[in-house]
A and B are shown apart, each in its own frame.
Chain A
Amino acid sequence: MWSWSFTFKVLPKLLSAAKITFIATILGFLLASILGLVWTFLKRAKIHWISSSATAIVEFIRRTPLLIQLFFLYYTLPSFNIRLPALTVGIIGLGLHYSTYLSEVYRAGIEAVEKEQWEAAKSLNFTPYQTWTLVILPQAIPPIIPMMGNYLITLFKETPLLAAISVVELLQQAKIIGSEYFQYLEVFTLVGIIFFIFSYPSSLLVQYLEIKLKNPAEKRM
């Protein structure tokens, strides 16, 4: 049933398609991290209509499927005269979708910073910019690194959806090879194994970091 010669024949092709998967993962996550922070700030805005519309948009993106968002971007952007390669559209879609999850993570991190830290920054006459970059974010980010790691792994596993908008990533490459030889067992199993090889150890690392990065104050209690 399982053919090893076929396996070794297709493996290099799959691994080279995996490059696209990694590019999409890394750039998508980068975009999600930046946009996520933007959402967090918009949701905290003092002006009510800004914060409430940011909350509504984030909620809308979170509750609708990434696949449709990808289709939407891929098919409607050209009608606004924005022509982008499929991979770029895919990265924007992944980044946008996961930014809404990361904004929640940032919010949790920021809310965990003690009130006294804000007061201290104020009493030192820090500007809002100094307060955020020197006091709040350096304390808010480290505890949420494991949570961010979890979303990085989740985003990685969602990259096969890019196949739907014609990006030849790992799964799409497997499908192409599979239909060419009418032999799906090896290719789809290999794709599963490749995903597992990267995501399982990463999730173990995240669990380790979770224990390691536990707030020392919390540990003492």
Chain B
Amino acid sequence: MIKIDKILNILLRLIDASKVTISLTIVAALLASVIAFISGILLLNRHKIIRFLVRTYVEIFRGTSLLVQLYWIYFVLPFFSVELPKFTAGVVAIALNYGAYSAEIVRAGFLSVPKEQIEAAKALNFTPSQKMRYIIFPQAIRIMLPGLGNQMIELIKGTALVSLIGLEDLTYSGVIMRTNDIADTFIIFILILVIYYAISSIFASGFKLLEKRANVGRA
């Protein structure tokens, strides 16, 4: 007979640990969005040097593994006297990694806006900020949202890697709980998977809502 109160106890402890996972997700996602939008726009800059520099950043972070980057930031940077706490190291690695992937989505989104739209804005004498706010952004974000939503799910899953540098997130707590209670291994890991699934699904439906809003007034 499976003891309900035992499962409940494990679940409560895991939910408590997922606070770290959720705050890591939110902080890293916000930073990643800022990086993605800045780099995505700079990838379309008219100066070749700027494009080259941003392109280098994007390709390096897309071309090496997130865990390698996390280890590099956590284990190598201290040799250059940059010592980051675990949480910060996690945020920086995750944000730089997913920021690089999402920069490509942001770039493609802006590129998808037809030239005529920009010309029309110019013909109507819109200021650059009006042009961005009323013409380019609403059309570009519609193209970006599905891709950014997928990246969001990847980012949530990516946060599990911080457990490997010892940050006490959901994954780490589960692994520790398991070593204390080997018999409960199965139930612990099933519950962890369910919690991650719940977190991912909440963010996924959030993005679905945003997509719906961005598509208001369209056929």
B110 proximal to A (CB < 8 A) = no
A62 proximal to B (CB < 8 A) = yes
**Docked-complex contact A195 and B64, CB < 8 angstroms:** yes
Which one, A27-35, A42-50, A72-80, is touching chain B? Answer: A72-80
B86 proximal to A (CB < 8 A) = no
**Docked-complex contact B157 and A189, CB < 8 angstroms:** no
**Docked-complex contact B197 and A161, CB < 8 angstroms:** no
Which residues on the A side are within 8 Å of B174 (C-beta)?
68, 71
Which residues on the B side are within 8 Å of A1 (C-beta)?
79-80
**Docked-complex contact B160 and A188, CB < 8 angstroms:** no
**Docked-complex contact B164 and A192, CB < 8 angstroms:** no
**Interface size bucket, A side?**
35 or more
Q: Mark A178-221, 1 if CB is under 8 A from B, else 0.
A: 10000011001101100110011001000000000000000000
Q: How far is the CA of A175 from the CA of B161 in the complex (A)?
A: 15
Residue from A185, A192, A203 in contact with B64 in the complex, judged by beta carbons closer than 8 Å: A192
Q: How far is the CA of A178 from the CA of B215 in the complex (A)?
A: 51
B130 proximal to A (CB < 8 A) = no
B69 proximal to A (CB < 8 A) = yes
**Docked-complex contact A65 and B171, CB < 8 angstroms:** yes
Which residues on the A side are within 8 Å of B76 (C-beta)?
184-185, 188-189
Residue from B71, B80, B193, B197 in contact with A72 in the complex, judged by beta carbons closer than 8 Å: B193
Interface centre among B60, B75, B174, B190 (most CB of A within 10 A): B75
**Docked-complex contact A196 and B189, CB < 8 angstroms:** no
**Interface size bucket, B side?**
35 or more
Known contacts A63-B200, A63-B201, A64-B200: does B189 contact A76 (CB below 8 Å)?
A: yes
Q: Please give me the residue from chain A that is nearest to B65 by CB atom.
A: A157
A77 to chain B, nearest CB (A): 10
Which residues on the A side are within 8 Å of B190 (C-beta)?
72
Known contacts A65-B171, A67-B160, A164-B164: does B64 contact A196 (CB below 8 Å)?
A: yes
Residue from A159, A161, A175, A196 in contact with B60 in the complex, judged by beta carbons closer than 8 Å: A196
B105 to chain A, nearest CB (A): 14
**Docked-complex contact A188 and B63, CB < 8 angstroms:** no
Q: How far is the CA of A63 from the CA of B67 in the complex (A)?
A: 19
**Beta-carbon contacts under 8 Å, B185-214 to A:** 185-186, 189-190, 192-193, 196-197, 200-201, 204
5 A-B pairs (CB sep. < 8 Å): A64-B157, A65-B156, A68-B192, A160-B65, A195-B64
B residues in contact (CB < 8 Å) with A? 59-60, 62-69, 71-72, 75-76, 79-80, 153, 156-161, 163-164, 171, 174-175, 178, 185-186, 189-190, 192-193, 196-197, 200-201, 204
A residues in contact (CB < 8 Å) with B? 1, 60, 62-69, 71-72, 75-76, 79, 157-161, 163-164, 171, 174-175, 178, 184-185, 188-189, 191-192, 195-196, 199-200, 203
Add 10 more A-B contacts to A68-B193, A171-B65 (CB < 8 A). Answer: A63-B201, A65-B157, A65-B158, A65-B160, A65-B196, A76-B185, A157-B64, A184-B76, A192-B69, A199-B63
